[in-house]
């Protein structure tokens, strides 16, 4: 007995060891088998990132988990992902791990799936990847077959997945989001029942019309499956679209050339609450307490073959008679509801599909809404006929129906419209074949939106429709502090409505006050400072509508832009291709006249501008107080008073509030100050220069008719040399600064010798030469630092060297002239003075003696002063010019 127990325990241990070890031994082999078998059957690339094989969790089955699964298309959709999933769990027989007959999968669970089905304009489908039998046979002929994969499923499950279907041939887009589906049954049996549960959110768009927008769909179904005839029968079915219940009967049979359908459906009840249940919950609030009367029925069928060129005959009927509903918390009810709508096809030809909205009526108190429409030839040349009559208090809608919290409508709508057209006539602009007439009017309308800075109020708007154009007869409104009064006409209205063509028009706009910021989107963050220009704004920049193609002539008594107030503004605007071109703009601003031409474009991610501007007679204080551009380009101008004439040419990027991003702006600016004065006390830089240059009083600087030219690019401003004068001292200033106010300027002065003080003038007197009175010393100052904390550096060495050279040249010339005269006297027999040999060394020595204050002897320079002492003397004198004068050497006094 003990022996058998030991054997049993040994076998059990071996089995457990095998169950743990086998996955490691066969995991790679099984993974490769799955890849090979799937890739052998498809024209695409199937692969996965990792594999995990387990025998313990599903014993006696083997469970294989594939992670990071994907199928990548080949031509004509090369590189597109047809399918991806976080993981797929497969269950199969344990013995299949040791054989070569392929895999038989009994359970499948897919999580995080993404299916992207595409049909291009040529009809190519990216899901058409299965190889033909001949291709798979050819592939197997080259080597030993590894068997085929069979789906003998008993259970399958799909969770947290998304399915997208885009068909360019039909302009059809279907999306199933948060798709969860499971089914159980013996799918390997020829005849069986499949029990399924499905929940998802459905969005459906066709021909740019959104029919479903994240509508809830749940469907519990029992399907009878006959695999011999490929027939699937609806046995027990219940579907909910939002909260509208539907039941199905019939079958679907798969054929070689399509599917045979014979299906009918209807609502199990006729209560009008079914209609409210059809509307997405986001727009209906809670309908549990809503009182309803009347009926609402949905019914239909589909019968025939769904093939490449045919569809089943079908009908969808939606009918309601004399219905009403009232929300318990609202004062008014919606009454006299009548709906008579039929969508169908009797022939099976796709182009014979029709839509008839025979009646769509309702009333709220004394307000009425009536509409009807008919659409024929949907696929080739759609023909549309429609009538609309509406007399509605828009504010009263919220008293009968729960409106979205962020939608607060007010005003009165009156419309009486008729249209009849076919798309071919619109495409060919054959408006004589179309009918469009009627009136549309709004009064006391108000619209508020969280994204807008202010509500838009329209006191009155009236439009008259004809096939050729829409006349804007009156349009008066306001938003914020802005008011507007417009009239004009729109062309190509039908092309805009139905073919996404440009909306053409000509308008006249008049306003008493027009604030640009009133038409901007609400800020999502704080405004940027000028120093941090390179930081992008947090809010999304506005875009000029791409569909606009119009001309606007505008006149405004006042236009407010940023912190500017322009008066008597006139302009012409051409709007096209997301660009506004401004021409002949005229305005009074800051005591002067403004004119400019330019453009603003928003085609790119960052809006940009290009303009030429002229200003005449602007009061410069107002310019600097209100124009940020002048503050940054010409900061020194803040110490000036007077009027300004200026020409500006600019281009660059705009920020999200449509003001220039100076760090991304380039251009040129020229300005002339008329009758200007300098207010030196306003500038730390001028105060620093006054302290450094003792002989100047910069408050007396002559800036009358000052002209200056600047160029700037990528955050740097360069100033061309400007000429100023202080008394008879010419001054030249040039250099550049950055937009963060860091300076790099030079100031060059030609200082006459008479301003150099008593000592220099004494030296010049000793020379006894009138030419010395015209001597000028170049003085250079380098201005750095910031505008608020300037750093002044003066060049003493070059001034010293220049003054010394000039004095030496004057004395040299004087002594040479004296030597020439003595020689003349000698040759002429005159009285000979004590002869002196004169050479260049003696001349320099005499000059330097003069600089040192030693009296010259006509026969020979005595007690000569060395040249180095002369330079030191000049240095001492020039040092006094810069507030750094040294004490005099007693030996040289």
Q: What percent of the chain shows pLDDT beyond 90?
A: 22
How far separated are the first and last CA of the chain, in Å rounded? 135
Closest CA to 493 of 575, 554, 431, 415: 431
State how far the Cα of 742 lies from the Cα of 746, in Å rounded to an integer.
14
CA distances from residue 871 to 780, 866, 887 in whole angstroms, order as listed: 18, 9, 15
State how far the Cα of 882 lies from the Cα of 777, in Å rounded to an integer.
13
pLDDT in tens, 135-148: 665 555 544 444 55
Query: 3-state SS of 137-197?
Result: HHHHHCCCCCCCCEEEEEEEEEEEEEEEEEECCCCEEEEEEEEEEEEECCCCCCEEEEEEE
pLDDT in tens, 14-37: 444 444 445 555 667 777 777 887
Instruction: Please state the rounded mean pLDDT for residues 372-392.
Output: 91
Higher pLDDT, 119 or 452: 119
Beta carbons of 154 and 181 less than 8 angstroms apart? no
| 3-state DSSP assignment of residue 628 | helix
Closest CA to 508 of 466, 543, 481, 472: 472
Angle at 838 between CA 835 and CA 839, to 5 degrees: 160
Task: Give, for 535, the enclosing helix (H) or strand (E).
Answer: none
Of 35-49, 277-291, 330-344, 347-361, the range with the lowest mean pLDDT is 277-291
Beta carbons of 88 and 110 less than 8 angstroms apart? yes
Asked if the model's pLDDT at residue 883 lies above 60, the reply is no
Closest CA to 692 of 781, 800, 759: 781
Residue 75, token pair as written in the block: 């031509």
Beta carbons of 149 and 161 less than 8 angstroms apart? no
- Helix locations, 664-777, DSSP H: 684-692, 758-767
pLDDT in tens, 386-399: 999 999 999 888 89
pLDDT in tens, 608-633: 999 888 888 877 766 656 666 666 66
Locate the domains of the chain by residue range. Answer: 1-169, 542-720, 752-824+837-892
DSSP code, position 521: B
pLDDT in tens, 216-273: 889 999 999 898 898 999 988 888 887 788 898 999 998 888 889 999 999 888 888 8
Q: How many CB atoms lie within 10 A of CB 1?
A: 5
Mean pLDDT computed over every residue of the chain: 77
State how far the Cα of 381 lies from the Cα of 378, in Å rounded to an integer.
7
Residue 21, token pair as written in the block: 């070890």
Closest CA to 221 of 188, 186, 250, 179: 250
pLDDT score at 87: 92
Residue 865, token pair as written in the block: 């002063």
pLDDT score at 222: 92
How are beta strands 729-738 and 743-752 bridged, if at all?
antiparallel
Look-up of token digits 């107002």:
622
State how far the Cα of 387 lies from the Cα of 783, in Å rounded to an integer.
77
Beta carbons of 455 and 446 less than 8 angstroms apart? yes
State how far the Cα of 379 lies from the Cα of 410, in Å rounded to an integer.
39
pLDDT score at 771: 59
Output b/e per residue, 797-816; b: 16+ Cβ within 10 A.
eebbebbbebbbebbbebbe
Beta carbons of 668 and 652 less than 8 angstroms apart? no
pLDDT score at 307: 81
Beta carbons of 223 and 236 less than 8 angstroms apart? no
By CB neighbour count within 10 A (0-12 exposed, 13-18 middle, 19+ buried), where does 346 fall? exposed
pLDDT band at 796 (very low <50, low <70, confident <90, very high): low
Look-up of token digits 């008394």:
727
Cα diameter, the chain:
164
Query: Which stretches of 38-96 are assigned E, i.e. beta strand?
Result: 44-47, 50-54, 61-73, 81-93
Asked if the model's pLDDT at residue 348 lies above 90, the reply is no
pLDDT score at 890: 37
pLDDT score at 656: 76
Residue 554, token pair as written in the block: 């505008």
State how far the Cα of 286 lies from the Cα of 243, in Å rounded to an integer.
11
Q: What are phi and psi of 125, to 5 degrees?
A: -115, 130
Instruction: Please state the rounded mean pLDDT for residues 598-608.
Output: 88
């Amino acid at each position: 007995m003990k022996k058998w127990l030991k054997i049993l325990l040994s076998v059990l241990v071996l089995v457990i060891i095998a169950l743990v070890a086998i996955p490691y031994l066969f995991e790679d082999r099984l993974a490769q088998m799955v890849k090979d078998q799937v890739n052998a059957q498809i024209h695409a690339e199937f692969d996965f990132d990792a594999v995990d094989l387990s025998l313990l969790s599903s014993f006696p089955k083997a469970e294989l988990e594939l992670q990071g699964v994907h199928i990548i298309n080949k031509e004509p959709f090369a590189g597109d992902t047809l399918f991806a999933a976080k993981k797929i769990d497969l269950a199969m027989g344990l013995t299949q791990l040791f054989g070569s007959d392929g895999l038989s999968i009994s359970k499948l669970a897919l999580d995080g799936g993404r299916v992207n089905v595409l049909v291009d304009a040529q009809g190519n489908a990216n899901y058409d990847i299965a190889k033909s039998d001949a291709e798979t046979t050819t592939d197997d002929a080259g080597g030993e077959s590894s068997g085929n994969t069979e789906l003998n499923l008993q259970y399958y499950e799909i969770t947290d997945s998304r399915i997208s279907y885009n068909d360019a041939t039909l302009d059809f887009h279907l999306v199933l989001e948060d798709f969860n589906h499971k089914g159980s049954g013996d799918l390997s049996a020829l005849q069986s029942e499949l029990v399924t549960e499905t929940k998802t959110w459905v969005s459906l768009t066709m021909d740019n019309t959104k029919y479903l927008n994240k509508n809830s769909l749940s469907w519990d179904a029992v399907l009878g499956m006959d695999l011999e005839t490929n027939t699937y029968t609806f046995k027990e079915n219940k579907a909910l679209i939002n909260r509208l219940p539907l039941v199905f009967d019939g079958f679907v049979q798969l054929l070689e050339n399509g599917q045979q359908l014979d299906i009918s459906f209807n609502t199990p009840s006729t209560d009008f609450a079914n209609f409210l249940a059809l509307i997405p919950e986001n727009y209906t609030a809670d309908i549990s307490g809503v009182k309803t009367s009347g009926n609402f029925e949905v019914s239909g069928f589909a019968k025939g073959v769904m093939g490449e060129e045919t569809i089943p005959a079908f009908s969808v009927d939606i009918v309601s008679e004399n219905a009403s509903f009232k929300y318990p918390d609202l004062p008014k009810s919606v009454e006299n509801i009548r709906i008579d709508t039929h969508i169908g096809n009797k022939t099976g030809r796709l182009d014979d599909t029709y839509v008839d909205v025979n009646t769509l009526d309702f009333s709220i108190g004394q307000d009425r809404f009536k509409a009807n429409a008919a659409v024929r030839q949907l696929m080739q040349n759609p023909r549309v006929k429609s009538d609309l009559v509406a007399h509605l208090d828009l504010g009263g809608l919220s008293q009968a129906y729960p409106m979205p919290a962020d939608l607060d409508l007010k005003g009165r709508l009156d419309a009486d419209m008729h249209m009849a057209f076919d798309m071919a006539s619109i495409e060919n602009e054959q408006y004589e074949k179309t009918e469009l007439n009627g009136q549309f009017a709004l009064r006391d309308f108000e619209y508020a939106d969280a994204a807008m800075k202010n509500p838009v109020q329209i006191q009155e708007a009236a439009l008259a429709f004809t096939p050729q154009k829409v006349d804007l007869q009156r349009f008066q409104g306001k938003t914020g502090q802005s008011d507007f009064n417009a009239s004009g006409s729109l062309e190509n209205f039908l092309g805009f409505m139905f073919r996404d063509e440009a909306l053409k028009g000509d308008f006249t706009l008049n306003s008493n006050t027009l604030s640009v910021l009133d038409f901007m989107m609400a800020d999502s963050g704080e405004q940027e400072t000028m120093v941090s220009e390179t930081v992008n704004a947090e809010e999304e920049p506005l875009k000029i509508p791409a569909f606009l193609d119009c001309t606007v002539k505008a006149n405004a008594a006042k236009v407010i832009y940023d912190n500017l107030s322009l008066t008597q503004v006139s302009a012409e605007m051409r709007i096209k291709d997301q660009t506004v071109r401004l021409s002949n703009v005229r305005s009074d601003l800051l005591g002067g006249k403004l004119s400019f031409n330019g453009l603003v474009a928003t085609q790119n991610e960052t809006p940009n501008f290009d303009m030429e501007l002229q200003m005449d007679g602007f009061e410069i204080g107002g310019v600097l107080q209100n124009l940020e551009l002048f503050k940054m380009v010409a900061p020194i101008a803040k110490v000036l008073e007077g009027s300004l004439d200026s020409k500006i040419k600019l281009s660059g990027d705009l920020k999200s509030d449509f003001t220039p991003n100076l760090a991304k702006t380039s251009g040129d600016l020229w300005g002339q100050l008329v009758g200007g004065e300098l207010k030196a006390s306003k500038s730390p830089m001028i105060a620093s220069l006054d302290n450094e240059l003792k002989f100047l009083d910069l408050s007396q600087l002559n800036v009358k008719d000052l002209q200056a030219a600047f160029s700037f690019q990528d955050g740097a401003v360069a100033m061309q040399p400007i000429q100023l004068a202080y008394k008879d001292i010419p001054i030249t200033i040039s250099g550049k600064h950055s937009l963060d106010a860091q300076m790099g300027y030079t100031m060059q002065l030609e200082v006459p010798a008479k301003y150099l003080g008593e000592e220099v003038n004494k030296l010049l007197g000793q020379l006894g030469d009138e030419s010395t009175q015209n001597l000028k010393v170049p003085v250079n100052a380098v201005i750095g630092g910031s505008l608020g904390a300037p750093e002044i550096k003066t060049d003493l060495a070059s001034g010293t060297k220049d003054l010394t050279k000039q004095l030496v040249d004057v004395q040299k010339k004087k002594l040479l002239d004296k030597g020439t005269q003595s020689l003349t006297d000698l040759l002429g027999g005159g009285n000979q003075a004590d002869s002196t040999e004169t050479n260049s060394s003696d001349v320099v020595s005499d000059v330097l003696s003069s600089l040192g204050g030693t009296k010259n002897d006509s026969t020979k320079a005595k007690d000569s002063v060395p040249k180095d002492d002369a330079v030191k003397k000049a240095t001492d004198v020039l040092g006094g010019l810069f507030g750094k004068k040294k004490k005099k050497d007693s030996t040289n006094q």
